[in-house]
Structure 1
Amino acid sequence: MIAIVEDLNATATQGFWVGTAYLLSTSVSMPFLASISDIFGRPVLLISSVALFSIGSIICATARSIATLLGGRSVQGIGGGGIIVLSLVIFTDIVPLRQRPKWYGGVIAQNTTWRWVFYIMFPFCGFGLVAIPSLLTLKPKVETLADKLARVDWIGSLIFMGSATSFLIAISWGGTQFSWSSAATIAPLVIGAAGLFGTALWERYGAKEPFLRHDLFYSPSAVAAYICSAIQGLVLFGQLYYVPFYFMSVLAYSPIHTGLALLPVMVTLVPGSIITGFLITRLNGYRWPIWVGWVVTTVGCGLTTIWDVDTHIAVWVITLIILGFGHGATLNAQNFASQAICADGEEGAAAAMYGFMRHFGTAFGVGIGGTTFQNVMALKLGWEGLSTEIAKNAEVFVSQLTAMPAGAEKTQILDCYVYGFKGVYRVYLGISGVAFFISLLIKHYDMNKELRTDHQLQDNNITKAVDKRLSSYRNSRMSTMANVKLNAVEENARETASGESSDSEASRTQVGSGTATPMSEPEPGAPRPAVIREEDEPSNST
């Protein structure tokens, strides 16, 4: 982020919007794209989303001004929102709920240019555009284009996207770009809140086919699960935004060093999520990982509040490991909790709502963090008799801070940065604690639900070829195993026959010679076995 701000001569506020523009457009687009995928089909919407993401990446990579970059990030966000939410929805279409849990750039910035962050996405986007039509062949619905367009909830979608954008913009720039008491903040905040309330009324009473499923919130457990999802997005992405900022400003780490410093949270978040997924599938329960995850996350948030100017490396490494495991546990569990709680056949809509709520919280997390950091840091700067303008351009000032010679002024400024970060981390700590208590409201629902969906995979040339190879492999394995078993049976039969033949030969030897076969000497005083001779055999005559 700092490299982008410096290269495009942007302000800290404009640099802040580089991340916020993507998060905002991602969050706003997700419910609408998930809804119309029921009408136009998953593959069409997924391909369109990848295409939009690719176009946005091209715009960002070639941007020569901050305005162009923000436009590209918005387009990229719409595509990213579609990719995220449709991936969740498609997964619910093809995998039963009980089995889902177990399946479920610093070097660039320093050594080349920040534009490579976007260049590197092109091969993956190209692969997706080629692979998706070939592999994702869901059975299409037979409808005319006019019928499909008529089914779209245009009124509700437009009201929602406009009001959500207005509301998130006000949250993002309130207290930073504009004061909370200014008309620039109050007006979009009120308009956005009123629009969201109007959307809820329209979806409940006016829409023939609502794109927001109000029945997903039919129980306190569902409401609690979605609120926890939003809070996790808020805390997780807020920390992923401000922890690197702390490393680069207070600890004066380079982009490479900062990326390496984040490895503890990255290498524990994914394994934590995978392990939790397997345990959820095996134990058919999702509440305990949610509770444990929030306790661990809250502990990690508490540890970030003790980070200082000279924090030892062991302290922040342990903190990030704890945060990684905590977020990893809740990430999977809350997703599948929402799918288990919903009615049969609504798992796709529940997954889409989970994704939306988490990203809606993400936009809040960065916005609330930015507001808290700037205001708390400005307060500390005022106490120290320093310019509060440093807080408004904190990211841009990092390069100047790094170049400053050691002295009293630099120490004071670093203390102000730390004070601002502690303010942000304390907010995240309090919110995490609230999330734990909310999660206690989530009840257990059986995950052994029948897979019900109108979007089912159909065979194509690739899947047929794969199935043929798998069938051939299975037949070969079965034939090999059958031959092994047959050989084992024949070998046992030969050994048995050989043993019986030896016993028979030994018996004949005993009878013919009139002597016993060599045997162990009986215990003294024990009766010896009788030896039957031919002349001693009883007569058959009566």
Structure 2
Amino acid sequence: MGTIYYLSATIFQQPVAEISHVVGRKPAFLLVLTFAAAGTVIAGTANSIAVLLAGRAFQGFANAGSVLSAIILTDLVPIQDRAIWLATQNARMLFFMNLPLLVISAIGLAFLLGFDRPELGIRKSLKSVDWIGIGIFIPSALSFLSPFVMAPTLFPWISVQALVPLASGVIGLATLAVHQRFFARRPMFRPEIFSKHVTVSAILGLTVCGICLNILLFHLVLFWEGVRGYSKMETSVAVLPETVSIPIAALVCGLVMRRTNRIREAVSVGWPLAVLSLGLLWFMDDNTPLPWLVIVNCGVGLAAGILMAALNVSLLAATKRELNGHAIAMGLQARSAGMCLGIAIGTTVFSYTMNQRLRQVGGEMNSEEILRMIEEIKRDPNCRKAIIDALRVLWVICCALSGIVGLYNCVCKFPLLRDPSAEGPGTERVAANGPEKRANSSTVASQDSKV
């Protein structure tokens, strides 16, 4: 149920963001809210699994609203304040209530958000959209990511059902890269975003954040229920150290970056903290004291919040002002793709390791069977030991990925938060001084032109 949501969100985020660059934020956002409302109604009234999956797919498409929210913030907010606003946006997602808020959001957008009407008109502007690129990207991304979210639950990795879509997706994405580089008049994926080490490292870092977060949140449930014997309600409380500390850390990180005008320090703190916290997860078992578990899991959440705030802002600071919308959309796309990969990596590695341990005592099961049989597993010490060993392999993988990409991040040269070369001449001065100074500067400019 969760995989179809992440798959749909990953595939459609970039096309929706690209359309918003052409037709304007308001029409694109209202379209997204319509899909979100439709998905909520379909899922809520579903009487079969197929209809329920269709509703979740609609809601995944509507997840592009988070991209548009971030793009609108980059349009309206000076760069030194964007990390704070982006972190606040993420915190509000904790209280998302679906349909009532969708209606309120649609009304608010209709009356409060201005319409950045294209100069050429919507019809002519739509012709400039890279429809060929979108047409290549959607089926290629779907083909490439489908095996990751379906194997090995529905079919094994070494099978026609997995390898053929994977190979087709790779060929399609390679074709997309050639099209974007040599043939697209207005590329959906702007080459300038991939031309610097700092932006490439930020995109890789956000991808790894998505991988590790999904591995953690999907499999910590198995730890708390299968190893510690918690109920579902107790497990919901047990994962709060991650879910609450992430937005808080992102908000504090944004405030610190705004005050210091620097990004490097946040990255230099975030990655070592991530590696340390993920490494300490190795020691979690059925006898670990609860305060220690809370501290370690808070460390993981704090590291994720710091890194997502710092890496998103580094993408904006390292690109030109007119490309900030494309940059933030690419960052969110990378994190969403990482979440899909996290499902695949976590499920495959956990199931394989779990079965290796269970075969030693004459058993075998996959992660879905473990969830269905969680009550029996609680009473079997062999199964609990197998879960702990399988989870430790996942923690090692997350720790290694964070260490490798974190090292690449830390050796890159990060720009200052308020860098005239990134924002364009005079932008920071106007943004910092506010509307009154902007009016004064405009008056001076007009006087200079007269002279």
Range class of TM-score, shorter chain:
0.7 to 0.9
Report the Cα distance in structure 2 between the residues aligned to 1:429 and 1:302, rounded to whole angstroms: 6
Q: Which residue is 1:95 aligned to? A: 77
- Distance (whole Å) between structure 2 residues aligned to residue 102 and residue 156 of structure 1: 33
Quick one: distance in 2 between partners of 1:119 and 1:231?
Answer: 25
1:261-311, Cα deviation, whole Å (9 max, x unpaired): 122223322221111101111111111111211111111111112212333
> Could you tell me how far apart the structure 1 residues matched to 2:37 and 2:313 are?
30
Match of 2:312 among 335, 351, 363: 335
Which residue of the partner structure matches residue 322 of structure 1?
A: 299
Distance 2:222 2:371 in 1: 8
Q: Would you say 1:38 and 2:17 are equivalent positions?
A: no
Shift of 1:343: 2.5
- Aligned counterparts of 1:218 and 1:262: Cα–Cα separation in 2: 38
The offset of 1:119, in angstroms, is: 11
Unaligned runs of 5+ in 2: 87-93, 425-434, 436-451
Q: After superposing the two structures, state which structure 1 stretch, 158-167 or 65-74, moved more.
A: 65-74
Structure 1 residue 444 and structure 2 residue 421: aligned? no
Mapped pair 1:157 → 2:139: no
1:232 corresponds to 2:209: yes
Contact 1:163 1:193 in 2 (8 A): yes
Alignment of 1:254-273 (within 5 A): 254-273=231-250
Conserved? CA contact 1:272–1:328, under 8 Å: yes
How far apart, in 2, do the equivalents of 1:382 and 1:168 lie? 30
1:249: Cα distance to partner?
A: 2.1
Letter in 2 for 1:192: G
- Structure 2 residue aligned with 1:246: 223
Q: In the alignment, residue 408 of structure 2 is paired with which amino acid? A: I
- Residue 11 of structure 2: aligned partner: 28
Is 1:411 the counterpart of 2:378? The answer is no
The verdict on how the C-alpha distance between 1:93 and 1:449 changes in structure 2, with shifts beyond 3 A counting, is farther
C-alpha deviations, 1:82-116, integer Å up to 9, x for none? 21110111111011112222333xxxxxxxxxxxx
Q: 1:56 aligns with which of 27, 35, 39?
A: 39
Q: Residue in 2 aligned with 1:299?
A: 276
On the 8 A contact 1:163/1:195 being kept in 2, the answer is yes
What per-residue deviation string (whole Å, max 9, x for no partner) do you get for residues 402-461 of structure 1? 5xxx4xxx1112222222222222211111111211212321213325667xxxxxxxxx
- Any runs of at least 4 consecutive aligned residues in structure 1 with deviations exceeding 6 A, and if so which? none
**Distance in 1 between residues matched to 2:366 and 2:215, nearest whole Å:** 21
Q: Which deviations, in whole Å up to 9, do the C-alpha atoms of 1:157-181 show, x marking residues without a partner? A: 1211111111111222334432222
Letter of the 1:411 counterpart: P
Q: Kindly provide the amino acid, as one letter, of the partner of residue 32 in structure 1.
A: P
TM-score normalised by the chain length of structure 1: 0.73
Q: Greater shift after overlay, 66-75 or 439-448? A: 439-448
Deviations 1:478-527 (A, max 9, x none): xxxxxxxxxxxxxxxxxxxxxxxxxxxxxxxxxxxxxxxxxxxxxxxxxx
1:361 equivalenced with 2:338 (yes/no): yes
What's the TM-score once normalised by structure 2's chain length? Answer: 0.88
Work out the CA distance in 2 between the residues paired with 1:391 and 1:382.
15
For residues 18-54 of structure 1, what are the alpha-carbon distances to aligned partners after superposition, in whole Å with 9 as ceiling and x for unaligned? 1111111111111111111011110111111111112
What is the aligned partner in structure 2 of residue 178 from structure 1? 155
Partner of 2:113: 136
Letter in 2 for 1:437: L
Rg (Cα) greater in structure: 1
Deviates more, 1:93-102 or 1:334-343: 93-102
Q: Deviations over 1:455-482 (max 9, x none)?
A: xxxxxxxxxxxx9xxxxxxxxxxxxxxx
Give the match for residue 372 of structure 2: 396
Q: In the TM superposition, what are the counterparts of 1:51-90 in structure 2 within 5 Å?
A: 51-80=34-63, 82-90=64-72
Is residue 98–residue 447 contact of structure 1 (8 Å, CA) maintained in 2?
Answer: yes
Does residue 221 in structure 1 map to residue 204 in structure 2?
no
Which residue is 1:434 aligned to?
404
Task: Report the CA distance between 1:75 and its aligned residue.
Answer: 0.8
Tell me, what secondary structure is at the counterpart of 2:156?
coil
Cα deviation digits, residues 132-162 of structure 1 (max 9, x gap):
1112114322434431331121111121111
Residue 19 of structure 1 corresponds to 2
CA distance in 1 between counterparts of 2:204 and 2:400 reads: 15
Give the distance between the partners of 1:22 and 1:266, measured in 2 at CA.
19
Asked whether the 8 Å contact 2:118–2:125 carries over to 1, the reply is: no
More helix by share: 2
State the identity as a percent: 27
Paired residue type of 2:263: Y
Q: Could you tell me how far apart the structure 2 residues matched to 1:343 and 1:119 are?
A: 33
- How many angstroms does 1:123 deviate by? 0.9
Alignment match, 1:484 = none
Aligned position for 2:260: 283
Which structure 1 residue ranges, 5 or more long, are not aligned?
A: 1-17, 105-116, 453-466, 468-542
